[in-house]
Amino acid sequence: MGDTVRAGEVIGRRYTLIRTLGTGGFGQVWHARDEDLNVDVALKQVHLPGPVTPEEQRQRIARAVREAQHAARLRDHPNIVTVHDAFEHDGSPWIVMQYVDGRSLAEEVRQHGRRPIDQVTRIAEAVLSALDAAHKADIVHRDVKPANVLLASDGQVLLTDFGIAVAPTDVRLTAASMVIGSPGYVAPERLQGAEPGSAADLFALGVTLYEAVEGEPPFARQNPVAALTEEPRPPVHAGRLGSLLLSLLEKAPSRRPDAAAARVLLRGDQDTSGTATKPTKAITTERPPEKPPERPVSGAPATITSDRMQTVKARSTRAANFGCQLLGWLGVIIGLVAGLTGNELISNAGVGGSTLLGCLGGSVGGYFCGMALGGWHGLFGELDGLTVSPGGLAVTGELPAVYKWGDLKAVKLRRSGGTVTLLATVRPERVADRKWRAKHPAKINKEGNSKVFVGHGIPASDAGSVMTALSRHAGNLYSGPSSLP
């Protein structure tokens, strides 16, 4: 069938093979020289595994022509490798593509490990732009993976290898039972036999981006159907990309954002209409700092609530300390006045003695009074609780309030001993709004920082669920940590 070719061989009477660039299940790619135009090109020799009959060979050639036709419809997109031509040589179909001077994302991760968040953000924007254009043209890639994301030396990011791309109007050229795609990047619905759809491309992109920013895949490599049976590992290094990654890795395709919505989530844009901006070669990572987005629903809200005895203990302690200080100072004032006026009951003690007695008496009395009152409220009041949801943070207990994501500039967690405190930075215009502050009784300092959930704090055992929910729902407002020491 002419499947064996060597460097230096001339293909199609004008293309001289230089070196192989990569080999996959659906073809081998060569760096070649177009002798007629005196330019470098990439040549892909398309093949399907297994025995080939004459009829199957004709189908292979038809597939190559169809791939060229599909990719040609996307040739003006700056983030898609241009396809120039398709031809047959010695019984095998070949495709002529744009040669990209650079390396694949797979090579980048293999040589240098996990990539910085800013670089992965640029890659995500470029590939989402390419998929958005392809899906609008009713083309599904079906093999998105790090090896098919090219990082050009001039900074461009391009999606390549539409060799198994399919449009709804195509005649199926593969066996009905054949799952198309690379192991580890195939969406759960495809493993269950569903027809290929654009949502499967988004899942594969989620795996690709996760692997790029974490340095390892979200599912176990040794299990080819792990995406169907396992939950993804919580991202550790993804930072602001965590929400996007977890959205793309949703098992149900209906819960994944499409390419346009994913770009909105990536950019932190409040416009959730799904309208994508026109792609350009210059990819920007700027995010509107004063317009935090409404977060899309992705996963169930996380709710934690203290038990009754923890609530009693926390409220008793706070009330006792407050009562001790309040009545202690009141005792100082009373003792001072009594000493100066010569009250017969304490005249022998003098001014200093009466002040000390008043302070001690007031402190002790205030402490026990506050403890009793705090314990009463703890027994019969609402429990301290926190819910992290797509709408924001809902706090119950002594300082009940709802903080919408649009109210906040940042969210973080801080550990102290066995508990974790949730800290939020409120947007300046909210801090200046008296009506808003009246509805949010937590103390806010001059910098806008507030302990929105105090109570007994978040038990360290519950911190994991809170961090996961923040990664899902808070988006770029939450920059970590993904784990606590």
Rounded Cα gap, residues 259 and 272, in angstroms: 12
| pLDDT recorded at residue 94 | 84
- Tokens describing residue 48: 């399907």
Point out which residues pair with 30 in neighbouring strands: 20, 43
CATH C-level class of 385-477: mainly beta
Whether pLDDT at 467 is above 80: no
Q: Which of 40, 76, 118, 143 is catalytic?
A: 143
Q: Residue 439's pLDDT is what? A: 77
H helices present in 290-385, as ranges: 308-341, 350-380
What does the pLDDT read at residue 309?
62
In the block, residue with structure tokens 């599904």: 140
**Which residue has 């192991």 as its token pair?**
183
pLDDT at 383 over 80: no
| CA distance linking residue 266 with residue 285, whole number of Å | 9
pLDDT of residue 281: 36
The one-letter amino acid code at 111 reads: Q
How high is the pLDDT of residue 325?
Answer: 79
Q: Regarding predicted confidence, which is higher, 329 or 162? A: 329
Q: Pick the more confident residue, 356 or 369.
A: 369
Q: What is the mean pLDDT of the segment spanning 85-101?
A: 84
Strand order from edge to edge, sheet including 102-104: 102-104, 149-152, 157-159
Catalytic-residue membership of 201: no
Whose tokens are 């050229």? That residue is: 173
- In the chain, the N- to C-terminal Cα span, in Å, equals 60
The ranges assigned to domains in the chain are 10-98, 102-288, 307-380, 385-477
Quickly name the fold that domain 10-98 has: Phosphorylase Kinase; domain 1 (3.30.200)
211-227 pLDDT, tens digit per residue, is: 999 999 998 877 767 78
* Confidence label for 411 from pLDDT (cuts 50, 70 and 90): confident
Distance CA 149, CA 73 (A): 19
Model pLDDT, residue 394? 80
Instruction: Tell whether domain 102-288 is in CATH 1.10.510.10.
Output: yes
Confidence of residue 166 (pLDDT cuts 50, 70, 90): very low
Distance between CA atoms of residues 250 and 128, nearest Å: 17
Q: What is the structure's pLDDT at 485?
A: 55
Q: What is the mean pLDDT of residues 278-303?
A: 42
Give the model confidence (pLDDT) of 36-57 as tens digits: 989 999 988 876 555 667 777 7
When pLDDT is averaged across residues 86-104 and rounded to a whole number, the result is 85
Looking at residues 123-138, what average pLDDT do you find? Answer: 92
